[in-house]
């Protein structure tokens, strides 16, 4: 009977919705949603609505800009989120955060697990900022996530936009020359802002030493740092360095001591670490490790454990 058949069809359709296209020949599957990146613009501070959600978005933005001032117990280094995610996370060449809300949860090969956006934020707190993880259920985490959702407005789920696979990739074939990097550090004016000891100064972040990023940060990898430097530094004249110069500077900067990242040897648990990872992991030998590592004051706070399972024997709900 047709009157029974139709609802049946709808029901079946609902059951397979998640896996495949549904609803007729002219409906495209969700993965084919078109997104015109050139026509899309992230919302800016001036677009933040004047309501409760807007207040949370604004606090999230200010936490990104003023991380150590706002969260001194968690952001203990000279870095703030916008030291790397420049222009409030909107700059295409410096690991933009635009659309991040649409790309998580995702599988992260370094963790060997599917992780949430909150855990990804905490990886940057613990490794890039060499600080401590903030509680996932905290007001501050919600505010940061509110801002990340705000600058992901209208970006379809799963969309990668330019630069968002981290920093723009460079040819891994180049190898930096540390001695040449030392000369370029002065010749290319890095020293005037970041200082001869790489310590930074006020809003200018440190490049090495106890208040810089940790060995477990992406920036501690030669190619990742070279790409950031080539596309964004010197701050006053970005785009003036050759790729080789950027690799030389990255090699020089990353040859210095920096904070440790406890548990790093468990990264890439399935193997497959990129060639420039500066510490030993499964099937990988450290590439040019820093001269020494600075012990972390609160090693427990630096850990972002993979999400536990609940409700099964051995899960956290079962364990009493």
Per CB under 6 A, residues contacting ligand HEC are: 64, 67, 79, 81-86, 95, 97, 100, 103, 120-121, 124-125, 128-129, 144, 164, 166-167, 188-190, 192-194, 203-207, 213, 217-219, 224-225, 228-229, 233-236, 249
Query: From the CB of 85, what's the least distance to ligand HEC, in Å?
Result: 6
Residue 177: which H helix or E strand, with range? none
Nearest to residue 161, comparing CAs of 224, 247, 92, 217?
Answer: 92
CA angle 148, 258, 218 (to 5 degrees): 40
Between 205 and 259, CB nearer to ligand HEC: 205
| Strand ranges in the chain using DSSP code E only, listed in sequence order | 106-108, 113-115, 258-259, 293-294
DSSP class of 60 = H
Residue with the closest Cβ to ligand HEC? 166
Contact 220, 254 (CB under 8 A): yes
Give the distance from CA 71 to its chain's centroid.
Answer: 19
Spatial distance between the Cα atoms of 251 and 285, rounded to a whole number of angstroms: 17
Between 41 and 160, CB nearer to ligand HEC: 160
Residue 201 pairs with which residues in a beta bridge? 204
Query: From the CB of 189, what's the least distance to ligand HEC, in Å?
Result: 4
Contact 176, 252 (CB under 8 A): yes
Query: From the CB of 5, what's the least distance to ligand HEC, in Å?
Result: 45
Residue 108 pairs with which residues in a beta bridge? 113
Query: From the CB of 106, what's the least distance to ligand HEC, in Å?
Result: 7
Between 224 and 296, CB nearer to ligand HEC: 224
CA angle 64, 224, 219 (to 5 degrees): 50
Between 240 and 316, CB nearer to ligand HEC: 240
Residue 300 pairs with which residues in a beta bridge? none
Between 137 and 314, CB nearer to ligand HEC: 137
Query: From the CB of 230, what's the least distance to ligand HEC, in Å?
Result: 9
Query: From the CB of 253, what's the least distance to ligand HEC, in Å?
Result: 6
Between 203 and 271, CB nearer to ligand HEC: 203
């Amino acid at each position: 009977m047709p009157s029974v058949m139709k609802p049946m069809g709808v029901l079946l359709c609902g059951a397979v919705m998640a896996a495949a296209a549904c609803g007729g020949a002219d409906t495209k599957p969700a993965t084919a949603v078109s997104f015109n990146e050139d026509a899309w613009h992230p919302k800016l501070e001036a677009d933040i609505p004047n309501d409760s959600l807007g207040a949370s978005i604004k606090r999230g933005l200010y936490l990104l800009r003023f991380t150590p001032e706002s969260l001194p117990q968690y952001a203990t280094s000279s870095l703030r989120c916008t030291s790397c995610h420049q222009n409030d996370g909107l700059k295409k060449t410096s690991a933009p955060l635009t659309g991040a809300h649409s790309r998580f949860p995702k599988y992260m090969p370094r963790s060997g697990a599917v992780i949430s956006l909150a855990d990804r934020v905490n990886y940057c707190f613990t490794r890039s900022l060499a600080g401590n993880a903030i509680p996932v259920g905290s007001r501050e985490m919600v505010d940061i996530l509110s801002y990340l959702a705000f600058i992901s407005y209208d970006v379809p789920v799963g969309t990668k936009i330019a630069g968002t696979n981290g920093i723009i990739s460079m040819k891994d074939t180049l190898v930096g020359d540390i001695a040449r990097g030392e000369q370029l550090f002065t010749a290319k004016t890095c020293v005037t802002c970041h200082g001869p000891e790489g310590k930074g100064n006020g809003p200018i972040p440190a490049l090495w030493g106890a208040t810089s990023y940790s060995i477990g940060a992406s920036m501690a990898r030669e190619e990742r740092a070279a790409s950031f430097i080539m596309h964004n530094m010197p701050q006053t004249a970005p785009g003036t360095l050759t790729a080789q110069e950027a690799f030389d500077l990255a090699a020089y900067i990353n040859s210095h001591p920096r904070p440790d990242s406890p548990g790093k040897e468990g990264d890439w648990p399935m193997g497959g670490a990129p060639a420039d990872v500066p510490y030993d992991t499964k099937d990988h030998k450290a590439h040019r490790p820093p001269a020494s590592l600075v012990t972390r004051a609160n090693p427990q706070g630096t850990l972002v454990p993979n999400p536990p399972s609940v409700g099964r024997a051995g899960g956290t709900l079962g364990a009493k």
